[in-house]
Structure 1
């Protein structure tokens, strides 16, 4: 079969580079790459792909591994290999390779995958430069014999898939192919051919999940598609099969293309998997991992992809993945059911972005590397070098020694309306919110994971601090899942969680104070409003919630809180934080320390609360008068197995400070309003009691709105068509519309209008300026139509794209 070459432009992008995929790695200025000249000078392109795969896994054979950080990585690999070697079952006629992983008469296919991945771990030690096991004869024989046993007993062309498809199509073949490629020089030719044939048997076409004989046979998407392509590509390279390499390459473009529906990356930076789950942090980061391998192996070969097929994905990295990393962790709102696992550190994403930089255009590569360098330099709760493979450790070590400047994410809010998520950054902190609508799920429970997720999408608020990075490590098994911070909930008890989709469409927001990129993306907003019309999980309690992001703090509003179960109170959880530092031991209420709050078991109902502060964490200022707040300090214990079947049974304990408002049972129109200011001191919070810097303009079932005169910001979420006065402006909005405005210069203002429900083809907002103002428009998005009548501006937006974006206009007077 003739192999069709992609464009010559694509070939020139990555060929002729002295150190493998040098294009875009900024080799002239940073001088580091995981690809050696030897890999680039392979005798043919099949060998080049194999050599690159080896170096993607363990780095070049002659790499300098003497750096202490890299030594730590090798030590971790060595310890794992020693344990695995000790677990190998010896002798012919065995029914397994490892003692705890049977391969005969099994119904659980995970034993096949685990066996394969164990062999891959051993093979990495066998091939790794600096490893005490490098090219060890005993280890090499154990790996080859293990691959033969695994093939003979299970992974062969005569076996039909059973249990989970993932084990046969992604997990097991990945381990098998890593091991086979790494020990390629001692792998018998027949076994090599048999393993490649087995992969072709289980994955005849990487564009599909499940075998053709299975009723579930369907198109694959996202990271699953790319992992399938990766497995087909490596298996084909093992046996010089150009036709199947072409098949793998042809499956890649659709998996990394931006989308406007279903699974994938959206223009606004959202990432959806499983149809409606925000999944940037797990399936999304897996997409970065798998794409980095596939693009690196194909780069510069006759099967390389056209830049037009790859560049939109590359440009999405900073929009989609960088914002959701907070030094040590990938943030919970975009991790789906994986919050029930113990592996949401940022190390995986760091390493994958570094690998993806191999072969990327120079400006993008340096930007990605700059962000990773910033994380590496500031992360204290994660040991990157103990968690990532050798090649990624080598890249990270060279990055830290390079002249690439470290970067930090810009302050301000970031809106992701396509997945109903928002985050905001300030100096040393980041707050993220998980909301849900009829379009998306606030949480995912699947496969026995994340079984107590009832309120994770009900406005759950997560505060990440650079100074206290361990907050969410072992947090989910120990936190009270009925009191997720930031939520308003009916406190009735539930069984195992399921579903997770929101009950209303009106979820989203508007943003102002930023800039427009060349492609029209609105970036780096300074201020924003966000809304969630909420229906409580498993009940009939409803509420209208809004958040307004003011730079140094967030206004949290709740209104029209109604219904609920007959015997359980409705609660708004102001805080539920694990005590991780000495500063955080006691509450300060109205500026004064509450000594008893430093004692375990403390419970109190405190009336007249105007402000409350956990030093080193955040302060809260009541905006609707003094409130009665419920407090408790308690130690909570739990294991990951309590929230996800099959996970660790090790018990973890955290002591929590929890504070909430009790709205009573079945409230009728209850409300709340408070300002949250991260890292504020008790004195600073108390000083804001009289001058919070923001006014709640309206907070009821029709409108939730605030005005911050000192920054010239007003923002309103209109549940119904209504009019509000915010500072000098009178703003009228259509139902289910979000409107924000900010003064950008003395006589200039930016206005944003958004259809947060994503149901309407057109929305309208009117802004009346003070009498005597002669206003004129100076800019309008192509989707915004502006008309002026005297001192009143009318903005009509074309929201037919149903993407929840903010439509911007600017005016002068």
Structure 2
């Protein structure tokens, strides 16, 4: 299976692989065991699998002797000594001091984690506790104690979060049993089988104590976690069938999701365009996608030499995930906010996320063949150096350090310098240029507006309503985004958002707990019910139009803003009377992504229900001591100052301390409120588990108000990264022209680039400059010696999309499959067969 870019450069490099292809790539051991419920002599080397696993987590004598691994070894030892001390100080009913057990499932999971951390230190070559029989015996005794008091009574167990019982606890238990396999056999030879029987019993979202591929809980990263644990359990007991079925089950996560031919009803996983979805409708590359990447790479390492056959082709699939799923979303070592779900509210996302991805990349390079292996190593060297203390494996630290130190490996990005990626399968767009990256979050009837859960991301309401993030090169992104952005910026004033003027309450404020509880209602609202997911945790939007198209490194995206599923169901009388739902504002929006600017159009803006609305042009944060300058100019050429009521022609926000700037060129006259405010809030306002730490930031906000009069209004402006005042003045003479901005059509022309781009939101033919577009559709045309056309169906529902290019007839040079071109009176008609394309771009080159 080849890797790399397509000849046109317009399609992602993800190797698309079907479920049938996945099964054909599995080792014979996996298939034979999957097909047979009894143990089969299929050649699984269980001892090798266990040895590989110990080496992953504990390292090897050779690796652990390397100086760059010393910090990891010290951390393993330090943690284990802390856990042993906590055991010494434990009170009644405790295994570890401070961890009260019996009603708190998170504490029970931590107790098993602490035992694992002690066990790890006793198997780490070169560590002071390596081979410590006393410490190992304490771990085995601790496993017995926990099982007898808190696990064996399964009628009393399984309280709290299902994830702890089916994934969290089994992960720590399985790894601990692997690390101490010899000691367990010596002290309690029945302990492993006892624990496996209990873990099977707690797999309650499975089937007969095993994975159920039809279960909504056994998908994506969750499935990878469960199956990795079951591989270890099978190796411990010499159970070929268990190992084989776990391999086969996990292999299903490699299959590219085809939304028109779902297997087991699963929408979680990687899509053709590089999108990753978890929880059925949440854009999640940066959190669950990262977990899945880590786990499958660990599995490749665990299974090395374990069965006959290889997994090179599966490794190539994972290479595609990295090249076209992760790389576009990583900017100077920072994972973008738009794909983190509820994790945006955590204090350790961003650079830490990428550190774990880099570990997987370094390891994956040993499993990918040919040019892909070198490309991964170059990328690992290109990204800013990461803190290896967070790496899981000492072996990975040594491997990554060797890559960084090798002068024969040049640093190189997996992204071209200029790239525009339409992740339409998860309603996200990323636009990259030297010096900046622009990331856009959309939503639709297919993709959730946001994710809230378990007290995380408490004020998420507008994060999928066209919120965008403009990352500038050379900045420490922790200072401008991350948890502090959501802490200090109003949730109603996220950059790019049009929100109604109202105050909303968080789920805990509304219901006194982290979820809406009403098990007696026909929808059965419990903490992990489907109704909770649908209406509380990650509600989808109601609009079909959300998508766009790309032409080379240029792009256009559009969205019709709508209410979420909860408001719609509430109006229909489906939800209980005490369930609180909020109505959204309305807007039709487009984003045109070019070289020096991103053009934003909004039309049909209204607060609904007698409310005013506000569109936020930008919100940016800075340290209180940073030197900030806000300048501008009115349409009459006079200076604009904060507090002016006259519409500005342009504004410029500059951080003199960080030497960064963003300009805002307004393409129509509209009053703008802009200013700076010092804001201090606790990080706990966005996540209940965050430390109650006060954060103070200098917050810049530029907004456009829409009155509650019932009149709809329009907005048109361009974001200009790195703008100078002289450069902003030049927008008075072009090159941007707004061709249309209404609820039917939004279109612009860039005279210098020769680009005309349009979103048509409603049915029928609509004009956009020299184009006649049969909507709904997204279109980009770049005129020149050769004219390039790109078009797509953002609704994902149309069989075909057409655009007529008025003027002299053009002849076809090249076209994607499904594109036809013919000359008609008045111009050239380009048509794309978009049925089952899921928003994909179709291109043609004409002459």
Q: Which category describes the TM-score, using the shorter chain as reference length? A: 0.7 to 0.9
Tell me the equivalent position of 1:474: 483
Tell me the secondary structure at the aligned position of residue 444 of structure 1: coil
Structure-2 change in CA distance of 1:163 and 1:195 (3 Å): farther
Tell me the secondary structure at the aligned position of residue 714 of structure 2: strand
Tell me the secondary structure at the aligned position of residue 738 of structure 2: strand
Structure-2 change in CA distance of 1:125 and 1:228 (3 Å): same
- Distance in 2 between the 1:58 and 1:596 partners? 62
Residue 295 of structure 2: which of 270, 290, 294 is its match? 290
Tell me the equivalent position of 2:47: 47
- Distance in 2 between the 1:276 and 1:494 partners? 24
Tell me the equivalent position of 2:803: 765
**Is 93-102 or 233-242 further displaced after alignment?**
93-102
Structure-2 change in CA distance of 1:628 and 1:674 (3 Å): same
1:700-711 map, 5 Å: 700-711=742-753
- Distance in 2 between the 1:425 and 1:350 partners? 20
Task: State whether structure 2 residue 697 is matched by structure 1 residue 697.
Answer: no
- Is the Cα contact below 8 Å between 2:682 and 2:694 reproduced in 1? yes
**Is 616-625 or 696-705 further displaced after alignment?**
616-625
Tell me the equivalent position of 2:4: none
- Distance in 1 between the 2:230 and 2:201 partners? 8
1:180-219 map, 5 Å: 180-189=177-186, 191=188, 193-203=190-200, 209=206
Residue 208 of structure 1 deviates from its aligned partner by 5.8
**Is 293-302 or 532-541 further displaced after alignment?**
532-541
- Is the Cα contact below 8 Å between 2:312 and 2:368 reproduced in 1? no
Tell me the secondary structure at the aligned position of residue 176 of structure 1: helix
Task: State whether structure 2 residue 283 is matched by structure 1 residue 278.
Answer: yes
Task: State whether structure 2 residue 779 is matched by structure 1 residue 739.
Answer: yes
Residue 171 of structure 1 deviates from its aligned partner by 0.8
Structure 2 unaligned spans of 5+? 1-21, 30-42, 260-266, 508-535, 565-581
Q: Deviations along 1:713-737, whole A, 9 cap, x unmatched? A: 11000123344354xxx10112211
- Is the Cα contact below 8 Å between 1:621 and 1:689 reproduced in 2? no
Tell me the secondary structure at the aligned position of residue 396 of structure 2: helix
- Distance in 2 between the 1:206 and 1:321 partners? 31
Tell me the equivalent position of 1:399: 403
**Is 275-284 or 604-613 further displaced after alignment?**
604-613
Residue 119 of structure 1 deviates from its aligned partner by 2.0
Tell me the equivalent position of 1:23: none
Residue 803 of structure 1 deviates from its aligned partner by 0.4
- Distance in 1 between the 2:667 and 2:239 partners? 70
Task: State whether structure 2 residue 724 is matched by structure 1 residue 716.
Answer: no
Q: Deviations along 1:90-124, whole A, 9 cap, x unmatched? A: 69x96332112233xx2322222111112222333
- Is the Cα contact below 8 Å between 1:757 and 1:804 reproduced in 2? yes
- Distance in 1 between the 2:672 and 2:649 partners? 10
Tell me the equivalent position of 1:28: none
- Distance in 2 between the 1:219 and 1:671 partners? 43
- Distance in 2 between the 1:8 and 1:535 partners? 43
- Is the Cα contact below 8 Å between 1:457 and 1:500 reproduced in 2? no
- Cα-Cα RMSD: 3.3
Residue 388 of structure 1 deviates from its aligned partner by 5.1
Tell me the equivalent position of 1:80: 79
Count of aligned pairs between the two proteins: 742
- Is the Cα contact below 8 Å between 1:412 and 1:551 reproduced in 2? no
Residue 456 of structure 1 deviates from its aligned partner by 0.4
- Distance in 2 between the 1:665 and 1:203 partners? 58
Q: Deviations along 1:623-651, whole A, 9 cap, x unmatched? A: 43454321232233333432233333333
Residue 120 of structure 2: which of 110, 120, 124 is its match? 124
Tell me the equivalent position of 2:496: 486
1:177-576 map, 5 Å: 177-189=174-186, 191=188, 193-203=190-200, 209=206, 220-261=218-259, 262-302=267-307, 311-344=316-349, 345=352, 346-377=354-385, 383-386=387-390, 389-402=393-406, 403-408=408-413, 409-410=415-416, 411-468=418-475, 469-470=477-478, 471-475=480-484, 476-496=486-506, 498=536, 499-513=538-552, 526-535=553-562, 538-539=582-583, 541-566=585-610, 568-576=611-619
Residue 234 of structure 1 deviates from its aligned partner by 1.0
Structure-2 change in CA distance of 1:543 and 1:95 (3 Å): same
Residue 437 of structure 1 deviates from its aligned partner by 0.8
Q: Deviations along 1:351-406, whole A, 9 cap, x unmatched? A: 223233332324323222322322234xxxx6343565533322321221123332
Tell me the secondary structure at the aligned position of residue 712 of structure 2: strand
Residue 185 of structure 1 deviates from its aligned partner by 4.3
- Is the Cα contact below 8 Å between 1:544 and 1:560 reproduced in 2? yes
- Distance in 1 between the 2:449 and 2:627 partners? 29
Residue 349 of structure 1 deviates from its aligned partner by 1.9
Tell me the secondary structure at the aligned position of residue 143 of structure 1: helix
- Distance in 2 between the 1:619 and 1:713 partners? 23
Tell me the secondary structure at the aligned position of residue 586 of structure 1: strand
1:7-18 map, 5 Å: none
Structure-2 change in CA distance of 1:654 and 1:182 (3 Å): farther
- Distance in 1 between the 2:318 and 2:814 partners? 29
- Distance in 1 between the 2:100 and 2:75 partners? 26
TM-score for the superposition, normalised by structure 2: 0.81
**Is 53-62 or 188-197 further displaced after alignment?**
188-197
- Distance in 2 between the 1:331 and 1:604 partners? 33
- Distance in 2 between the 1:387 and 1:634 partners? 39
Tell me the secondary structure at the aligned position of residue 495 of structure 2: coil
Structure 1 unaligned spans of 5+? 1-5, 14-42, 514-525, 598-602
Residue 574 of structure 1 deviates from its aligned partner by 1.2
Tell me the equivalent position of 1:16: none
- Distance in 1 between the 2:27 and 2:744 partners? 59
Tell me the equivalent position of 1:587: 630
Tell me the secondary structure at the aligned position of residue 247 of structure 2: helix
- Is the Cα contact below 8 Å between 2:501 and 2:614 reproduced in 1? yes
Residue 667 of structure 1 deviates from its aligned partner by 4.8
Tell me the secondary structure at the aligned position of residue 398 of structure 1: helix
**Is 295-304 or 263-272 further displaced after alignment?**
295-304
Tell me the secondary structure at the aligned position of residue 544 of structure 1: strand
